[in-house]
Amino acid sequence: MNQNYPSVLLEQAVNQFSSLPGVGRKSALRHVLWLLKQQETDVDAFADSLKRLRHEVRYCRVCHNISDQEVCPICSGMKRDKHTVCVVENVQDVMQIENTGQYLGLYHVLGGIISPMDGIGPKDIEVDSLVERIVPEAIQEVILALPTTMEGDTTNFYIYRRLQDTGVRVSQIARGVAVGGEIEYTDELTLGRSIVNRTEFKC
């Protein structure tokens, strides 16, 4: 599409928006024209919010989650179980697990998973810092909550090997039929795993 933008400023703003993942040039143009109709102060607030985000946001020194302070509210929370660490790939995963309200332990954000295809090795993610947390923090259990992909499995295995010497208990989140899911429509791999990893029936 050979777009003729009537203004260079408009074109630059469209270029910026369409650099975002999953945003095409049509959507970008719609965003830009919408912003043009807003108050100057509102657009300034939008722009300043992005600048402040990039310049001022920090990553928790302990778990590498996004934070406004040096240590995030979860790591410094009084009501958290400090002996359990849940290992996740990224910040969204922390938010997703927090939303369940079912987990009260700490987290460790790897910032990626091992993926030779993408050139991401064990040194590119926060595994060393995880291993270094175990003894000083007296961590008793590490829960692996990584994606069920080849990369996730590889990373799980690598972390498991690295943690073996520490004596910490390593578990992984349950794989099985989704709550509300029909047996008939569950894929064979998941269904197979759900039978192998069956749990005791409790009423």
The partner residues of 115 in beta bridges, in order of sequence, read 120
Residues 93-132 touching a copy of itself, rule: CB under 8 A, are: 94-95, 98-99
Residues 135-194 that bind a copy of itself (CB under 8 A): none
Token look-up 């295995």 returns 157
The span from the CA of 28 to the CA of 15, in Å, is 8
Q: How far is the CB of 169 from a copy of itself (least distance, A)?
A: 26
Longest dimension (CA), the chain: 68
Name the token pair of 184.
Answer: 């008939």
Residue choice 18, 24, 29, 152 for contact with a copy of itself (CB under 8 A): 29
Least distance (Å) between residue 6 CB and a copy of itself: 5
- Between residues 75 and 114, which has the closer beta carbon with respect to a copy of itself? 75
* Interaction between residue 198 and a copy of itself (CB under 8 A): no
Residues touching a copy of itself, count (CB under 8 A):
59
**Minimum CB–partner distance for residue 150 and a copy of itself (Å):** 23
CB nearer a copy of itself, residue 49 or residue 197:
49
Q: Return the residues of window 54-83 that contact a copy of itself according to CB under 8 A.
A: 54-57, 65-68, 72-74
* Sole binder of a copy of itself in the list 80, 82, 91, 170 (CB under 8 A): 91
Burial-class residue 131 by CB neighbours within 10 Å (0-12, 13-18, 19+). middle
- The CA-based dihedral angle spanning residues 30, 32, 34, 35, taken in that order and rounded to the nearest 10 degrees: 160
Name the segment binding a copy of itself (CB under 8 A); options: 16-24, 147-155, 167-175, 190-198.
16-24
Of 1, 117, 179, 183, which one interacts with a copy of itself (CB under 8 A)? 1
**Which position among 24, 61, 92, 157 is part of the footprint of a copy of itself (CB under 8 A)?**
92
* Among candidate residues 174, 123, 168, the one with its CA nearest the CA of residue 148: 174
Contacts 24+ apart (CB under 8 A), 127-134: 127/158, 127/159, 127/162, 129/64, 130/85, 130/87, 130/159, 130/162, 130/163, 131/162, 131/163, 131/166, 133/62, 133/85, 133/108, 134/163, 134/166, 134/168
* Neighbour count for residue 16 (Cβ, 10 Å): 13
Q: Which residues bind a copy of itself (CB under 8 A)?
A: 1-10, 12-13, 15-16, 19-23, 27, 29-36, 38, 40, 43-57, 65-68, 72-74, 90-92, 94-95, 98-99
